[in-house]
A and B are shown apart, each in its own frame.
Chain A
């Protein structure tokens, strides 16, 4: 067990790689009542084509299967695992993203048993035909719930405009049709390939003794039998750097239209630290122009092109990346056109050293505020770890950035063939 100490933040993390390859991180916070544990596999909705363990041929599995598998892991032959956590006074949950599936609990008592339960249920699958069929009705309702959410539709519509082939364009939960094809055997195939401990990370943060906790996890893992596996072979289509379509839209029963502008980011050549720097710099540039203090936000708001729903984000991950800006608008065409012009004009502008310092301070403060949350620490630490970056290095990296870095970044950032516009249009009454 190794201790990583971050002096400025007054935090330390204990790290150990188990014999079976599982990465474990523990962060002790004795001031809190709560403990949060999250067990993550580096497997998400984009991992649709791969060579199953023990096979030589690539397979492509139905859309939405990673999320389906997440639902089904909670059900065992004789019980529902939610009940196990209930008995332990804990609350449990799970989520599936483009690149990860994660199982988590939070509790204020019986922490050891809860960690044990988390490890054991994820590492002991039980899938049957009956339970797979039953789940289809539940997930169909989940998909329909999202279908009624204009924000979600706008987000996914933008990604679908940006990406032509890559499975990031597929809704994480799949479609009502695609999930009908999922079988018990498909679930086992995905499980055996992606839920090997060497593809997984456990992060526990909160109120416990780290030495004892690590020992418990070590024993738990040593008692289980996992064959060593070769590196997982995943396959993704060749995605062009330019966008799939420059414009797209859907019609929905909304009162206000939405306009989103997406930028397709090129992450192919970036290693972990470069990815982190790119994420921080683009975040600060967007903040500078498009947060409430920014000249672009002010112009758009005064012109009644945006309202409080206006948002922007950059997401960079293995395999894909995008920046999306937009929100509700009474003049969606005008907003989209202005946003595109603004993004293009960033290249011609300069951020002064003083303004850049202000953006750095803002980033530092946001990061410190986020560190109040065990969930943020555990989830983000895991995320950055899979990309080869240490979460707590975010602070020194922000401190090292200069206005010059921002200037360099914008030089190659916005290109016309990497921008898409997507709109949600109200139905004609």
Chain B
């Protein structure tokens, strides 16, 4: 087994994670800025990645900035905002070709890091405001994005499920923000939000690739040090109290295929003792093509092309999704619910448990072969405040027994059944 070693160093205003590896021909740099999920400021956070990536003081427009990255052998640079449990995380990802593979003497990595740092800390600003035209244009783009969510029916159904299921929890907030906020956001107010964010958000920087640790630390210090931040994490998550009453919601839209999405509460989070059994549970229930959902909804009853489940590690959710003909709603729904009952009553073999463990471990190891995948796995740990070495994660999965999986099934509670169906409803 080959597992990368992570070195974590507390720095001034940020935490540096170094992941030396000979697996890649490139060096990956990822910066993650984290804040608690709040209604206030969420639209600003949705706008910021695209505004920041457009211009810096040194490279004052998109074309010069992008040309500079192209000259650095097509250095890839992207950013986005995402929801991790009840945190809002802005990620900036860069991938630079390792100089050893190039017939070139320029310091490619250092020049790329300079751009990375400028995008984060030295954006184009005039008179205490971002560039007006950039902000105006990016607002238009975001508006389009928000309106287009409806065009991707799978994401839309997923969003609607969470809207209903987590109605009064921060988790239901939309990561793309809200149109009603647009009017009050100006180039100046966005810059004010940015200043608070860049100073106060928790910053983690990951660097992975065939790098020398001492050299990379020196470079990182040069480009990521922050003056103001204490970089402390004191955020508490909301807990759902009281019993859950399962609800069923049917909405209509102009679709050929109905989208059946079901939300459960697992009551299990990353780092909890039964988190490993939850992973094995998901493997048997709906995580793979060998799982109960795929075998029953698709293979046995030919109702769907896809039927699967996945879990959210920080909020404690299990989400089932399938695309079925509107007329098959009741049948597909009862099969999915029956399979959950089967899990509770232990209607699966020890062999299935073993197979699921192997699949989960395989998936984890494959993910860790990929630089961004490994960084995501490690960031999960950072988020939960529980640093568990990869060997231990795998060992814990291996130790899961059938009883543990049944216990997980018993803990899981049905919350919301959501069906997006055609206007005729297929009845």
Contact surface of A with B, Cβ cutoff 8 Å: 8-10, 29, 31-34, 80, 82-83, 86-92, 106-109, 134-139, 141-142, 144-145, 147-150, 253-256, 291-295, 298, 301-302, 304, 307-309, 328, 330, 358-359, 361-366, 368-369, 371-373, 427
Let me know if B368 and A33 touch, CB within 8 A.
yes
Top 5 closest pairs, chain A to chain B, by CB: A365-B74, A365-B73, A89-B358, A137-B302, A253-B254
Residue of B nearest to A85 (CB): B290
Assess A368 versus B73: contact at CB under 8 Å? Given A86-B290, A253-B254: yes
Let me know if A141 and B365 touch, CB within 8 A.
no
B contact residues around A32 at 8 Å (CB): 2, 23, 369
A contact residues around B371 at 8 Å (CB): 372
Which of B62-70, B237-245, B261-269, B404-412 contacts its partner?
B62-70
Let me know if B97 and A293 touch, CB within 8 A.
no
Known A255-B151, A369-B25; further 19 A-B contacts with Cβ < 8 A: A8-B101, A31-B2, A33-B365, A87-B355, A89-B358, A141-B303, A144-B257, A144-B323, A145-B323, A255-B148, A293-B63, A293-B70, A304-B137, A307-B144, A358-B67, A358-B70, A359-B70, A368-B101, A372-B24
Instruction: Looking at the assembled complex, report how far the CB atom of A133 sits from the nearest CB atom of chain B, in whole angstroms.
Output: 9
- CB pairs A–B below 8 angstroms (26 shown): A8-B103, A33-B369, A82-B289, A86-B289, A86-B359, A89-B359, A107-B362, A109-B362, A135-B302, A137-B303, A138-B302, A141-B324, A144-B256, A145-B306, A148-B256, A255-B148, A293-B63, A295-B63, A309-B148, A328-B148, A359-B70, A361-B71, A364-B74, A369-B95, A371-B25, A372-B371
Q: Does B122 count as interface, using CB distance less than 8 angstroms?
A: no
Let me know if A307 and B25 touch, CB within 8 A.
no
Complex: A107 Cα to B256 Cα, angstroms:
36
B contact residues around A301 at 8 Å (CB): 62, 137
Q: Which of A256, A307, A365, A427 contacts B75 (CB 8 A)?
A: A365
B contact residues around A107 at 8 Å (CB): 362
Instruction: Looking at the assembled complex, report how far the CB atom of A275 sits from the nearest CB atom of chain B, in whole angstroms.
Output: 22
Let me know if B66 and A291 touch, CB within 8 A.
yes
Q: Does B250 count as interface, using CB distance less than 8 angstroms?
A: no
Complex: A429 Cα to B288 Cα, angstroms:
40
Instruction: Looking at the assembled complex, report how far the CB atom of A110 sits from the nearest CB atom of chain B, in whole angstroms.
Output: 9
Q: Does B361 count as interface, using CB distance less than 8 angstroms?
A: yes
Let me know if A308 and B288 touch, CB within 8 A.
no
Residue of B nearest to A11 (CB): B25
Residue of B nearest to A288 (CB): B70
Let me know if A138 and B137 touch, CB within 8 A.
no
A contact residues around B76 at 8 Å (CB): 365, 369
Q: Does B363 count as interface, using CB distance less than 8 angstroms?
A: yes
Residue of B nearest to A293 (CB): B66
Contact with A along B320-352 (1 / 0, CB 8 A): 000111000000000000000000000000000
Complex: A362 Cα to B298 Cα, angstroms:
44
A-B pairs under 8 A by CB, number: 177
Complex: A409 Cα to B76 Cα, angstroms:
27
Contact with A along B1-45 (1 / 0, CB 8 A): 110000000000000000001111110000000000000000000
- Kindly identify, within residues 134 to 151 of chain B, every residue whose CB is under 8 Å from any CB belonging to chain A: 137, 140-141, 144-145, 147-148, 150-151
Instruction: Looking at the assembled complex, report how far the CB atom of B63 sits from the nearest CB atom of chain A, in whole angstroms.
Output: 5
Q: Which of B255, B257, B362 contacts A108 (CB 8 A)?
A: B362
Q: Which of B63, B305, B368 contacts A142 (CB 8 A)?
A: B305
Assess A139 versus B305: contact at CB under 8 Å? Given A33-B368, A80-B299, A109-B358: yes
Instruction: Looking at the assembled complex, report how far the CB atom of B74 sits from the nearest CB atom of chain A, in whole angstroms.
Output: 3
Interface-centre pick from A147, A365, A372 (highest chain B CB count, 10 A): A365
Complex: A33 Cα to B324 Cα, angstroms:
37
Residue of B nearest to A256 (CB): B148
- Kindly identify, within residues 205 to 256 of chain B, every residue whose CB is under 8 Å from any CB belonging to chain A: 253-256
A contact residues around B325 at 8 Å (CB): 141, 144
Complex: A87 Cα to B355 Cα, angstroms:
5
Let me know if A372 and B26 touch, CB within 8 A.
yes
Contact with A along B64-106 (1 / 0, CB 8 A): 0011001111111000000000000000000101000111000
Let me know if A427 and B254 touch, CB within 8 A.
yes
Residue of A nearest to B96 (CB): A365
Q: Which of B25, B295, B323, B366 contacts A372 (CB 8 A)?
A: B25
Let me know if A368 and B63 touch, CB within 8 A.
no
Let me know if B305 and A145 touch, CB within 8 A.
yes
Assess A141 versus B304: contact at CB under 8 Å? Given A86-B290, A369-B74: yes
Let me know if A292 and B66 touch, CB within 8 A.
yes
Interface-centre pick from A134, A141, A330, A369 (highest chain B CB count, 10 A): A141
Residue of B nearest to A295 (CB): B63
Complex: A371 Cα to B63 Cα, angstroms:
27
Residue of A nearest to B364 (CB): A108
Complex: A100 Cα to B346 Cα, angstroms:
42
Let me know if B71 and A148 touch, CB within 8 A.
no
Assess A293 versus B298: contact at CB under 8 Å? Given A145-B305, A148-B153, A361-B71: no
Q: Which of B22, B24, B140, B290 contacts A304 (CB 8 A)?
A: B140
Complex: A9 Cα to B359 Cα, angstroms:
32
Let me know if B2 and A293 touch, CB within 8 A.
no
Instruction: Looking at the assembled complex, report how far the CB atom of A182 sits from the nearest CB atom of chain B, in whole angstroms.
Output: 15
Let me know if B151 and A256 touch, CB within 8 A.
yes
Assess A364 versus B255: contact at CB under 8 Å? Given A89-B359, A89-B362, A141-B305: no
Interface-centre pick from A295, A307, A373 (highest chain B CB count, 10 A): A307
Complex: A235 Cα to B152 Cα, angstroms:
38
B contact residues around A134 at 8 Å (CB): 302
Residue of B nearest to A395 (CB): B101
Instruction: Looking at the assembled complex, report how far the CB atom of A328 sits from the nearest CB atom of chain B, in whole angstroms.
Output: 6
Let me know if A256 and B137 touch, CB within 8 A.
no
Complex: A141 Cα to B324 Cα, angstroms:
7
Let me know if B362 and A255 touch, CB within 8 A.
no
- Kindly identify, within residues 141 to 168 of chain B, every residue whose CB is under 8 Å from any CB belonging to chain A: 141, 144-145, 147-148, 150-153
B contact residues around A147 at 8 Å (CB): 256-257
A contact residues around B359 at 8 Å (CB): 86, 89, 91
Instruction: Looking at the assembled complex, report how far the CB atom of B356 sits from the nearest CB atom of chain A, in whole angstroms.
Output: 8
Complex: A292 Cα to B74 Cα, angstroms:
12
A contact residues around B299 at 8 Å (CB): 80
Instruction: Looking at the assembled complex, report how far the CB atom of B288 sits from the nearest CB atom of chain A, in whole angstroms.
Output: 7
Let me know if B363 and A91 touch, CB within 8 A.
yes
B contact residues around A256 at 8 Å (CB): 144, 147-148, 151
Complex: A427 Cα to B423 Cα, angstroms:
15
Complex: A330 Cα to B362 Cα, angstroms:
45
Instruction: Looking at the assembled complex, report how far the CB atom of B23 sits from the nearest CB atom of chain A, in whole angstroms.
Output: 5
B contact residues around A10 at 8 Å (CB): 101
Instruction: Looking at the assembled complex, report how far the CB atom of A65 sits from the nearest CB atom of chain B, in whole angstroms.
Output: 18
Complex: A32 Cα to B370 Cα, angstroms:
9
Instruction: Looking at the assembled complex, report how far the CB atom of B175 sits from the nearest CB atom of chain A, in whole angstroms.
Output: 15
A contact residues around B288 at 8 Å (CB): 86, 91
B contact residues around A144 at 8 Å (CB): 256-257, 323, 325
Let me know if B304 and A138 touch, CB within 8 A.
yes
Complex: A82 Cα to B287 Cα, angstroms:
13
Complex: A88 Cα to B141 Cα, angstroms:
46
A contact residues around B358 at 8 Å (CB): 86, 88-89, 109
